[in-house]
Amino acid sequence: MIATLKFTTLLLAVVVCWATQDYGYKDVEEPTLGDSQYGSLWPLPQKVQMSTVAFKLSGASFQIVDAKESSSGASCSLLQNAYRRYDEYIFPISRMQGQNKKKAFASDVSELQVWITSADSECDSYPSVTSDESCECPGMMFVFLVGALSLETFSQLVYDDEYGAKSINRTEIQDFPRFAHRGLLLDTSRHFLPIKVILANLEAMAWNKFNVFHWHIVDDHSFPYMSRTFPQLSQQGAYHPYTHVYTPSDVKMIIEFARLRGIRVVSEFDTPGHTQSWGKGQKDLLTPCYSGTSPSGSFGPVNPILNTTYDFMTMFFKEVSTVFPDAYIHLGGDEVDFSCWKSNPDIQKFMAQQGFGTDYSKLESFYIQRCVASVRHGLKVKQMISNSLKADTLIHVWKGNQQQYQAEMARVTASGYQTLLSTPWYLNRISYGQDWQAAYKADPQDFNGTDAQKKLVVGGEACLWGEFVDATNLTPRLWPRASAVGERLWSDKDVKDTNDAYSRLIQHRCRMVQRGIPAEPLFTGYCAHEYKGV
């Protein structure tokens, strides 16, 4: 995928051998792409003009190649990886090889030329929130112009005609994402997710043009992140010290797999709450809770009154910032239970010293400010995402009902913060029936605010919290429900016809199934190629 290429304009040119006379074409009166005029495209590009003029892709001759003019090509492994992937998607059955078999007919598309126009192709660097995913259309016939992830779009245009021949209709596309941050949260603490489950879902994310994997890597339940600086954190805090951990190599592999697909990996290390598992391997990190005048033996949130806490955080996040190349770190920061802090006499004394009275949210703010300062100190360049208004950067809104989150979006943006929405996209919450529609209808800019406020919305994230999912059921529970969020975050805000979406999504889901992802059915019906993985 080309999402990670930095460019001003990305061109994918399909050069076809064709005669100027009409008889060279095969006119398809009714496109066999389904009921939507947009076939199986998902998410819908910003502008699509699909004609009924169809061409065939010869399995014997079709190739994805670097355009002569392209600034990037054979030496760009990211690009070559993408060619290989999409060649296999388009021709899932091994096709005839050999140059001498090439025999292109007048109505054949012989090659897809990929033309990267930017000087800095980002071939060897990481995608970022400022990666340009847009494109322009020069208005040429047979030129497919798509933004980042354009090979995915191209592959979605290919369909089987009535004889099973790979075909594509002449189509002009202009594309760019509505939001720069299109994330998916997976939680590897409540249940450990084997690496191949994560990789499979990164693959599916790319098909749906998600570009941020929000890795909620640790939490109360387990600490599967293997830290080189503090190895005892996972040795003591993981469900199992080596079968249920992510080693540095595992993390590196996941980041590289994501990079090749234009996906950023934003790690989350949530503090000061949600840290029970941290306490097992790091003495004195958590607050000892008291029962009356003596310690109860249980522990609460991170202890905010000790300097050792901040020394630890500085060193820990320094490591994290080298392991995860993304410019952002997610600091969590939600759901801090004050009862343990309240029970602890040392904390009470500290509160009095600081003049916080009995307002423990002031202590929480104190921790977050100092933690952010420590983290900043440790890593300098990193930016923060947080669930708390006390942080000073991107605010992630993920609580409340519709009315509440809309009010929160208004408040956050009125205060000048950039924001991300997740509340309507808690995909771990399930209900009987077609609940993808509710996710599809939610819009992150749907709140009372000025245009300037709306511009502060950088996107959103679908969240699959891990209480009830693991390797056995995560993938079908996520797809194609997350696809609904994918289109909402990519396509134009006026793309909201659920009938049209349904028609395209059914096909998109079957495409995911055919490519090996067990995306669950939307309703009754069938795919030509049912899931074979069971």
Choices 106-114, 136-144, 192-200, 344-352 (CB under 8 A): range interacting with a copy of itself: 192-200
Q: To the nearest whole angstrom, how small is the minimum distance from the Cβ of residue 534 to a copy of itself?
A: 5
Among positions 139, 297, 357, 525, the unique one binding a copy of itself when judged by CB under 8 A: 525
Which is nearer to a copy of itself, 246 or 290 (by Cβ)? 246
Calpha distance 199→186 (Å, rounded): 12
The reply to whether 472 sits near a copy of itself by the rule CB under 8 A is yes
Which is nearer to a copy of itself, 401 or 472 (by Cβ)? 472
Closest-CA residue to 122 (of 2, 256, 258, 5): 5
Which is nearer to a copy of itself, 87 or 334 (by Cβ)? 334
Give the number of C-alpha atoms closer than 13 A to the C-alpha of residue 281, restricted to the C-beta side.
24
Tokens for 450? 């000025």
**Residue appearing with tokens 């993985």:** 533
The reply to whether 380 sits near a copy of itself by the rule CB under 8 A is no
Closest-CA residue to 333 (of 296, 287, 370, 294): 370
Among positions 462, 469, 489, 505, the unique one binding a copy of itself when judged by CB under 8 A: 469
Tokens for 267? 């790690």
Contact 368, 304 (CB under 8 A): no
Closest-CA residue to 505 (of 440, 444, 443): 440
Neighbours of 229 (CB within 10 A): 11
Q: Residue 510: enclosing H or E segment and its boundaries?
A: helix 498-514
The DSSP output letter for 503 is H
Q: To the nearest whole angstrom, how small is the minimum distance from the Cβ of residue 472 to a copy of itself?
A: 4
* Amino acid letter, 294: S
Among positions 466, 483, 487, 506, the unique one binding a copy of itself when judged by CB under 8 A: 466
Which is nearer to a copy of itself, 142 or 531 (by Cβ)? 531
Burial 469-486 (b: 16+ CB within 10 A, else e): beeeebbbbbbbbbbbbb
Among positions 34, 59, 194, 241, the unique one binding a copy of itself when judged by CB under 8 A: 194
Calpha distance 252→225 (Å, rounded): 12
The reply to whether 502 sits near a copy of itself by the rule CB under 8 A is no
Choices 229-237, 321-329, 357-365, 469-477 (CB under 8 A): range interacting with a copy of itself: 469-477
Among positions 200, 254, 482, 505, the unique one binding a copy of itself when judged by CB under 8 A: 200
- 3-class SS of residue 183: strand
Contact 5, 121 (CB under 8 A): yes
Among positions 25, 83, 91, 468, the unique one binding a copy of itself when judged by CB under 8 A: 468
Contact 121, 10 (CB under 8 A): no
Q: To the nearest whole angstrom, how small is the minimum distance from the Cβ of residue 341 to a copy of itself?
A: 24
Choices 150-158, 259-267, 339-347, 467-475 (CB under 8 A): range interacting with a copy of itself: 467-475
What are the Cα distances from residue 119, in Å, to 69, 192, 254, 262?
12, 41, 27, 18
The reply to whether 335 sits near a copy of itself by the rule CB under 8 A is no
Q: To the nearest whole angstrom, how small is the minimum distance from the Cβ of residue 435 to a copy of itself?
A: 10
Q: Taking CB under 8 A as the criterion, which residues in 204-263 touch a copy of itself?
A: 221-222, 239-240, 243-244
The reply to whether 196 sits near a copy of itself by the rule CB under 8 A is yes
Contact 164, 529 (CB under 8 A): no
For this structure, is 335 an active site residue? yes
Closest-CA residue to 323 (of 266, 263, 260, 391): 266
**Residue appearing with tokens 């392209």:** 70
Choices 114-122, 262-270, 494-502, 512-520 (CB under 8 A): range interacting with a copy of itself: 512-520
- 3-class SS of residue 30: coil
Which is nearer to a copy of itself, 344 or 475 (by Cβ)? 475
Tokens for 225? 């992140």
* Amino acid letter, 101: K
The reply to whether 475 sits near a copy of itself by the rule CB under 8 A is yes
Bridge partners of 302?
A: 286
- 3-class SS of residue 176: coil
The reply to whether 192 sits near a copy of itself by the rule CB under 8 A is yes
Which is nearer to a copy of itself, 256 or 530 (by Cβ)? 530
Closest-CA residue to 472 (of 86, 194, 144): 194
The one catalytic residue among 69, 88, 335, 530? 335
The reply to whether 368 sits near a copy of itself by the rule CB under 8 A is no
The reply to whether 69 sits near a copy of itself by the rule CB under 8 A is no
The reply to whether 530 sits near a copy of itself by the rule CB under 8 A is yes
- Binding track over 152-191 against a copy of itself, x by CB under 8 A: --------------------------------------xx
The reply to whether 280 sits near a copy of itself by the rule CB under 8 A is no
The reply to whether 356 sits near a copy of itself by the rule CB under 8 A is no
Q: To the nearest whole angstrom, how small is the minimum distance from the Cβ of residue 182 to a copy of itself?
A: 24
Binding-residue total with a copy of itself (CB under 8 A): 46
Tokens for 421? 């929405």
The reply to whether 511 sits near a copy of itself by the rule CB under 8 A is no
Gyration radius (Cα) of the chain, Å: 25
Catalytic positions: 335
Give the footprint of a copy of itself on this chain (CB under 8 A).
190-192, 194, 196-197, 200, 221-222, 239-240, 243-244, 428-433, 466-473, 475-477, 513, 518-526, 528, 530-534
